Amino acid sequence: MSAAARAAQAPAAPRTGPLAGIKVVELGGLGPGPFCGMLLADLGADVVRVDRPAEQGTPARFPVLHRGRRSIAVDLKHPQGVELVHRLVAAADVVIEGFRPGAVERMGLGPDACLAANPGLVYGRMTGWGQDGPLAQEPGHDINYIALAGALHAIGPAGGDPVVPVNLVGDFGGGGMLLALGLVSAALHARTTGRGQVVDAAMTDGTALLLAMTYGFLAQGAWEDRPGVNLLDGGAPFYGVYRCADGRHLALGAIEPQFYASLLRVLGLTDDPDFARQRDRTAWPAMRAKLTELFATRPRDAWAARFAGQSACVTPVLSLTEAAEHPHNVARGTYRRAEHGGPEPAPAPRFTGTPTAPPDPAPPVGAHTDEVLRAAGLDEPDITALRQKGIIG
């Protein structure tokens, strides 16, 4: 039996963390919605994810994103399945859904129906384009949302093509993280007023929000609206990435004068006239050419050792596997060895008064169906009848 299956059968341990006592119903989705559910579960919320009966018993599709919650398998295309979820929603503090606008309304699980039964409910909606606007019904993915929000254009080399930043900006930073903040904020309001509300989190909105400082620079005339020529987009030779002799890379972030001075000292460039005027953009091409040539003479780890403890803001560019093994990350427990056998990020941030517990592994789909329905007031004959009809897994 897998660790996830064993955890699903074990008695539920009391939740710990700042969100302990918060009950969340997550209507199964992909990407940013599950990430939001993971964040809330990591911080102590009791999250019940509603999955499809056809997937009953299968391993979690995303073993990290689906960690820390319980899973029930319910057919939301059947009226009795919708009725079951309404029972859960009536006792919940928060609902998460990530379908295209109008889809949950057609199921009978839209915010109006849920808030009518539970006026204190916080109903979170995760979409790419938002609940309204000309593109609300259009399909899309992270790359489309960050393209329309202006972020993709800003990422890439001067004169080159935009570089796709994985799906970190739209799906997770501007999506799931934004929704989690909105849900916690609305839940705090509901606790003090008794009034719930709908939280409309759009990845285009969140991506735009992440560009706040960049737009501030643009307004001040301190940012050119083209990539690879600015202080923080790789345009500055002292803030960028360099290839080393072994094909691996170093990251330089020597912006402040004292760190820039340390960089030059370690490299033996303190008296080089090409580096005398740090912020003079006309000197940047010569500076970059010399740094490129110099860093190509040694392997990455040799450079990393040379810069260790020198206060020059120079670090090795680590792979995913290397990052989990770096001594600093190990010392802080930034990553943990998960039950699926590989590393995964540990819950964050850290709390002194309400510390979080290590997350439970992602359970098999539907592992908690009977447990959750019994807690909702159904008896064994009711559960058996629902299973025979195929309404639950």
Residue 341: enclosing H or E segment and its boundaries? Answer: none
Which of 93, 95, 132 minimizes the C-alpha distance to 111?
Answer: 95
Helix axes 32-42, 177-193, angle to 10 degrees: 50
Q: Give the Cα separation of 124 and 306 in Å (integer).
A: 49
**345 touches 65 (CB < 8 A):** no
- Residue 50: strand pairing partners: 27, 72
Which of 189, 156, 180, 151 minimizes the C-alpha distance to 168?
Answer: 151
**338 touches 344 (CB < 8 A):** yes
**156 touches 15 (CB < 8 A):** no
What is the phi/psi pair of residue 336, to 5°? -130, 155
Known catalytic membership, residue 141? yes
Catalytic residue among 141, 189, 326, 340: 141
Which of 119, 118, 139 minimizes the C-alpha distance to 128?
Answer: 139
Catalytic residue among 42, 51, 93, 171: 171
Known catalytic membership, residue 368? no
Please list the active-site residues: 141, 171
